[in-house]
Structure 1
């Protein structure tokens, strides 16, 4: 007879931003499946509610629509985690936006919006969450979502790429600030990944399969599984690190292999 055992995150609560679909949603799915109570955030209210309803079929998931770059909302999000579940243990700052544009004509509006969401939202969510984790006195885990564009230059992504590189340095700095409280902070840097957004491009899979050493772009499960490791007890002595998940692309980028 099969006996269902408690998941490895039973009794823990996680906040995941930018989780209405794609990588964020898969992180939430894996967390809920492993017993965590999850606060699923997305700026799109319909997406957040729909995603949460799907996950409620397998565990506890609370829809928290709102702008994760807004400090008032961030404070409400952390407070709700504690009010609704009694604890906060894990925060995945996954929300981000990509606004393409060539450097010479990139607008201040686009620049500051990218920085507000990608940097400001992550920084202040980490700050607010860390205060709660310190108050609880049990440690915890923070994970930021960076990108291979923080390692390799891409045309028309100067602002986005610099914001992602900055997140990796933020994780390093927080080692100094938070390690003594038992809080580890790491970053994942996904490469090309199959999501609802990228699947809209008919050439996406074939293009990235051709130039990725492992022969395919990542799945959302590839990225989420790496996150699950970094927030697990198996990674308690890992902090300030960035895990690049790109099938080897950054080792050979940007050109595809050529025939000899």
Structure 2
């Protein structure tokens, strides 16, 4: 139980990677505060994964700074302190670059990028006040460094997310706070099935993934839990990419049994 006694806040936790991370943290002995804008699904998740003793749900719009501040305050009021913050909440819009409106842009940046900034800031402020360090984990993506014009606003926010991670890591290192990122590849979640696959095909995605399959939310949650634990005590400022090898592949995977190689 590598997270025994730790108190963690996880945003975007009503489903997908956020929910899987909450489940993994509970299995590792932590108490979790789960946050999401979807009140119904959030409450369903809280009831399904734990009890009132170890799970607390707070409806939160992370694009609103005051709500993020209130989330951290609620976590501390309920469980006494904050040890781990996971900025996971995010959305994606599949659309042509030229079709992005100001409202679209503001919405995606507000949730994905501003939400992570306010979460990092509020968590760091609380951890500094406690004087015992802590860990902040930001959910990035392989799209932080790959060009996918069908999800331009999403990709832009994830590139910015990496800078939040690196700059915050330097800013708070002297306070014993580690700031790290996780950049998943294509993970079999509701959001990916609904948004990303709509702009591509299973075959095209798998062809660019050396391990030949989608990842699972549980696999990403395992990386999140590792980074939150003392096993990762010398890692800060980095974004780890559990992506099935996708970032290191410049070409489509060759057909099975083909000896042809790309130049």
Partner of residue 38 from structure 2, selected from 44, 49, 54? 44
In the alignment, which residue of structure 2 is the partner of 1:185? 179
1:73 equivalenced with 2:67 (yes/no): yes
Contact persistence 1:211–1:257 (CA under 8 A): no
Contact 1:209 1:215 in 2 (8 A): yes
Q: Retained in 2: the 8 A contact 1:188–1:227?
A: yes
Q: Deviations over 1:197-231 (max 9, x none)?
A: 44566996555334310111111111111111111
Q: Which residue of 2 aligns with 1:230?
A: 227
What is the aligned partner in structure 2 of residue 126 from structure 1? 120
Counterpart check, 1:112 vs 2:106: yes
Matches within 5 A, 1:57-96: 60-96=54-90
Q: 1:168 aligns to what SS in structure 2?
A: helix
Secondary structure of residue in 2 paired with 1:91 = strand
Partner of 2:217: 220
Q: Specify the alignment match of 2:151 in structure 1.
A: 157
Q: Give the Cα separation in 2 of the matches to 1:124 and 1:66.
A: 12
Structure 1 CA distance, aligned partners of 2:202 and 2:13?
22
2:52 and 2:76 map into 1 onto residues whose CA distance is: 21
User: CA 1:252–1:172 in structure 2 vs 1: closer, same or farther (change >3 Å)?
Assistant: same
Distance 1:225 1:109 in 2: 35
SS in 2 for 1:194: coil
For 1:253 and 1:39, how far apart are their aligned partners in 2?
40
- Normalised by the length of structure 2, the TM-score is 0.91
CA offset digits 1:139-181 (Å, max 9, x no partner): 0000000111111111312221111011111111112210000
Which ranges of structure 1 fall in alignment gaps of 5 or more residues?
1-6
Q: Figure out how many residues of one structure are paired with residues of the other and give that number.
A: 254
Matches within 5 A, 1:7-18: 7-18=1-12
Partner residue in 2 for 1:4: none
Structure 1 residues 173 and 253, CA gap change in structure 2 (3 angstroms)? same
Say yes or no: does 1:138 pair with 2:135: no
Corresponding position: 1:251 with 2:258: no
